[in-house]
Amino acid sequence: MRSRRTVSIVTPAYRAAAYVGLAIRSVLGQTYENWEMVVVDDGSPDETAEVVERFAKEDSRIRLVRQANGGAAAARRRALDEIEGQYVAFLDADDYWLPEKLEMQLGFMEEKKVAFSFTSFRRVAEDGSRVGRVIRAPKRLDYGKLLRNTAIATSTVMIDRAQVGSLRIRKTYYDDYALWLDVTRRGHVAWGLDVDLARYRVVGGSVSRNKIRSAYWVWRLYRDIEQLPVRRAASCFMFYAARAIVKYARF
């Protein structure tokens, strides 16, 4: 059993051979060293598992779990079944952290006695050649505000399971957003640490097609998961979309 202040890092990985090594190295470079990292290879057809395995052989805090392809939600759910720490941090395989991320965020949470936090971050180009502006973390988001906001990047989140309890991953396209809504619906507030501590990689695909797909799945989440009435869902969606446009208007 891990100690009370262990941070368990959840990393789903699919076709991530080109990026997951950097994600792992950013964890190895953390100034806070009491962590475990569970990387779930979601049936990748490339060498993702082999890359992770090399790191796992060198550091016992890193564990590789393999499963048949089931999507990001299934991979995160599997990782949550494997972890032992009180605190859970999420790090997608194509993202990475700055060295003080865990230390500063854990200190922030313990000082403020909060159960759910996220940080500011920057986007980075797929090939790493360009780093964008800082996307600031707002001070606090309760359930109502989060329904209307795109501010939380998955790889910036940390949750205290001792306060929140079980973390339920839904099978939906935006399983991460659904989880944040579930936690805040239970009465917890997502607190923002306005320090740039993470990098979100912008990977592939048509921007316009992704926007249409994203809009569709946000709407479905409002209606199917959150079961919002049509008028409230439409109102939340308008705010969400407007904030997304402002957020991504410039790199």
Q: Could you read off the pLDDT of 190-217 as tens digits, one per residue?
A: 999 999 999 999 987 534 447 788 889 9
Beta-carbon contacts of 106 under 8 Å, excluding residues fewer than 6 positions away, are: 5, 7, 32, 87, 158
Q: Could you read off the pLDDT of 54-81 as tens digits, one per residue?
A: 999 999 999 999 999 999 999 999 999 9
Cβ(146)–Cβ(190) below 8 Å:
yes
Q: Residue 185: inside a domain, yes or no?
A: yes
Q: Residue 117: inside a domain, yes or no?
A: yes
What CATH number is given to the structural domain containing 11?
3.90.550.10
Amino acid at 53: E
In which domain, by residue range, is 38 found?
7-205
Q: Residue 59: inside a domain, yes or no?
A: yes
Name the 3-class secondary structure at 102.
helix
Q: Residue 139: inside a domain, yes or no?
A: yes
Q: Could you read off the pLDDT of 102-135 as tens digits, one per residue?
A: 999 999 999 999 999 999 999 999 999 999 999 9
Cβ(126)–Cβ(16) below 8 Å:
no
Q: Residue 229: inside a domain, yes or no?
A: no
Please report which helix (H) or strand (E) contains residue 90, including its range: strand 87-90
Check residue 208 and give its pLDDT: 40
CA distances from 62 to 51, 55, 65, 68, 71 (A): 12, 7, 10, 20, 21
**Whole-number percent of the chain with pLDDT over 70:** 96
The torsion defined by the Cα of 138, 139, 143 and 149, in degrees rounded to 10, comes to -10
Q: Parallel, antiparallel, or unpaired for β 116-124 and 131-135?
A: antiparallel
Rounded-to-integer distance, Cα 251 and Cα 146, Å: 23
Q: Residue 243: inside a domain, yes or no?
A: no
Rounded-to-integer distance, Cα 243 and Cα 133, Å: 16
pLDDT of 137 higher than 60: yes
Please report which helix (H) or strand (E) contains residue 236, including its range: helix 230-247
Question: 176 — alpha (psi -120 to 50), left (phi > 0) or beta?
Answer: alpha
Check residue 245 and give its pLDDT: 83
Check residue 1 and give its pLDDT: 43
Q: Which of 7-21, 162-176, 179-193 has the lowest mean pLDDT?
A: 162-176
Count of the separate structural domains present in the chain: 1
Q: Residue 91: inside a domain, yes or no?
A: yes
Residue carrying structure tokens 């790199």:
251
Q: Residue 218: inside a domain, yes or no?
A: no
Please report which helix (H) or strand (E) contains residue 198, including its range: strand 190-201
Helix 48-58, helix 20-28: angle, nearest 10: 20
Rounded-to-integer distance, Cα 18 and Cα 112, Å: 37
Q: Where do runs of H (alpha helix) occur along 117-159?
A: 143-146
Amino acid at 237: F
DSSP state, residue 224: I
Rounded-to-integer distance, Cα 93 and Cα 209, Å: 23
